[in-house]
Structures are given as structure tokens and as C-alpha cells.
Amino acid sequence: MKQCNLSNDDILELTHDFYKQFDSYFFKKFMGVFKYRKDIVSFKNYDGGGTLGTCYELLCASTSYIQILRDHNIGDVTTTIHEFMHATSFSINPNHLYDPNKDFLSEFDTTFINLLATDYISQNLKTEQIYANSFNALVDHYNSINSAYILDLIKDEDITSNKDLSSFIKSHEANLEIILHYIKMDLPFYLFIYSLPFIFAVELYNIYKTDKDKAIYLLKKIINANCNSKEEYYQMMLDFGLIPGRHLNTYAVDINKKVKSKIKLNIDGVKMT
Ligand SMILES: [Zn+2]
């Protein structure tokens, strides 16, 4: 992993500049949080193989606290931008995170921002390494969704031997080794809170690329929505034209071009054209 020598202040400055060029409404809301950065943001060093970020939203105090465990790779920047989006959305509508009807997509807005931040950082820091991170995330999301899907199907099956399991998984055009790896690592459960929002976020990202105003209008609507049921929220996303999976292949092809085939694609079931 390529190291990045950015200081904590550099990361905060890049985060600020990203939101400034993103949109005036969101920048204003972001600044409402960012102005307290000295009190609410904590950076620590971490050597665990990847940046970790957390945003704690305290409903009782209408305040968010952000902790970034720095791995000194470019992910430190995108993670900081991501966590600030949690805090910004919380300042716009605390229910966006606390509404149990919306929590299955609680990483939607932040994942969308990650996709934009990736482009922004790539252009500004002239690094394509960041797209390798995106590519790895894409593979994880794909395998996580596929593994969760297989697990869901398996519970209704009468499987009594490894042979049964193997042929069942193969019959669904899945890769046994990959599925077992993800299941053993508990990854479908850990990643799914990100993977499901990811396939919706790719759709908003796709709209953003041709109609920025529309994408921002939809993002505001989604954050401000208070829903009576999960079904209502899901239907609202579909009504907004966010059909999960519709542009996933386009996105995958795009990312693959950006990493310039340095990484060989080998994902069962993902059609690359
Ligand atoms: Zn998050």
C-alpha cells in the first residue's frame, strides 16, 4: 500500500476543500460541524492494515464525534470525508441515522460521497492508487452480497454433505472457495451494511455524472426523508430512479480502466465488457 505523508491538518484541509467544491448547501451544513473540528475530531495512528473511521452521533447533545485511526495511506482522506458526511447528515436530519426504517441504508449518503471523494482526491493528488482501493472495495461488496444471497437461499435447502453444499453453490454460478472464505470471515455480515448501500450509491453517482443538480436534489430528499416503513423507504429510492445493480457493471468497467489493468479482474459472475 502506497504511503501518504499528509499531516492531520492536510487531511482536514482536503476534506474542507472537497465539501466546498461539492455543493453550497452541503458545504454550509458541513461547516456547521467542521468549525468545531478541534473539539470533535481525533486522529490516532493505527497499524492494522487499513484506515478505520467512526462517527459517534449523540442525539441527546445534537453533536457528532469523529475518530480516524490513520493507516497513512490515501484511505485516511476518503475515510475522513466519509465520517464528516455522517456528521453533516446528522446535523441536517438526526432521524436519517436513528430512524429504524432507514438504517438498512444508513451508509448510503457516505458511500455516495466516497465515490465522489475518490474522483476528487485522484484529480487533486494525482494518484490512481485510490482507484485500487475502490476496486478492492468493489470486489468485497460483490462477494459480500453474493455470499449473503447464497446464505439466504441455503437456509431453506436440505444440505447434508459437503458435496451437496458444493453443488448447490456451483448451481448458483458462485465460486465455492470465495463464498466459504467470506462466510468464514463473517464478512457478509460485517460488509453488508456497506454493500447494500453501495449498490444504491453507484446509481446516484451515475446520475451525478450527467446531472449534478438532480443528484444533489435527490440526496437532500433522501437525507431529509422520514419514513413509516422500510418498504416505503425502499420504494422511495426506486421512485427516485435508484435501481440497485443497474449501473454496477458500468461502474466496474470504469474502475477497471482507471486502475489500468494493473489488477487482474477475476470475479465470478461479474460480466466485464
Ligand atoms: Zn460510515
Encode the chain (273 residues) as per-residue pLDDT tens digits. Answer: 456 789 999 999 999 999 999 999 999 999 999 999 999 999 998 877 778 898 988 877 778 899 999 988 888 999 999 999 999 999 999 888 888 999 889 999 999 999 999 999 988 887 777 888 888 888 888 877 777 777 778 777 787 887 787 787 777 776 777 777 766 666 556 666 888 899 999 999 999 999 999 999 999 999 999 999 999 999 999 999 999 989 988 998 888 888 865 544 444 434 332
110 Cα to the center of ligand 1, angstroms: 6
Same domain, 88 and 113: no
Same domain, 129 and 8: no
Report yes or no: 102 and 95 within 8 Å, Cβ to Cβ: yes
18 Cα to the center of ligand 1, angstroms: 17
Same domain, 147 and 217: yes
Sign of CA dihedral 263, 266, 269, 272: positive
176 Cα to the center of ligand 1, angstroms: 30
Last residue of a domain, one of 92, 127, 160: 92
Sequence-ordered strand ranges (E) for 5-136: 41-45, 52-58, 63-70
Last residue of a domain, one of 34, 57, 92: 92
Report yes or no: 179 and 269 within 8 Å, Cβ to Cβ: no
Q: Helix count (H) and strand count (E) of the chain?
A: 13, 3
Residue 98 lies in a domain: no
102 Cα to the center of ligand 1, angstroms: 14
Single-letter amino acid, residue 134? S
Report yes or no: 74 and 130 within 8 Å, Cβ to Cβ: yes
Single-letter amino acid, residue 56? Y
Last residue of a domain, one of 37, 70, 92: 92
Same domain, 77 and 210: no
Same domain, 45 and 124: no
Single-letter amino acid, residue 203? E
201 Cα to the center of ligand 1, angstroms: 13
Residue 99 lies in a domain: no
Same domain, 192 and 126: yes
158 Cα to the center of ligand 1, angstroms: 37
2 Cα to the center of ligand 1, angstroms: 23
Same domain, 141 and 247: yes
Same domain, 118 and 248: yes
86 Cα to the center of ligand 1, angstroms: 7
- Count: domains in the chain: 2
Residue 172 lies in a domain: yes
Same domain, 13 and 130: no
Same domain, 149 and 213: yes
Same domain, 152 and 270: yes
Residue 119 lies in a domain: yes
Domain around 78 = 1-92
Nearest to 212 by CA among 116, 79, 107: 116
Same domain, 75 and 152: no
Q: End-to-end alpha-carbon separation of the chain, Å?
A: 28
167 Cα to the center of ligand 1, angstroms: 36
255 Cα to the center of ligand 1, angstroms: 21
- Strand partners of residue 55: 66
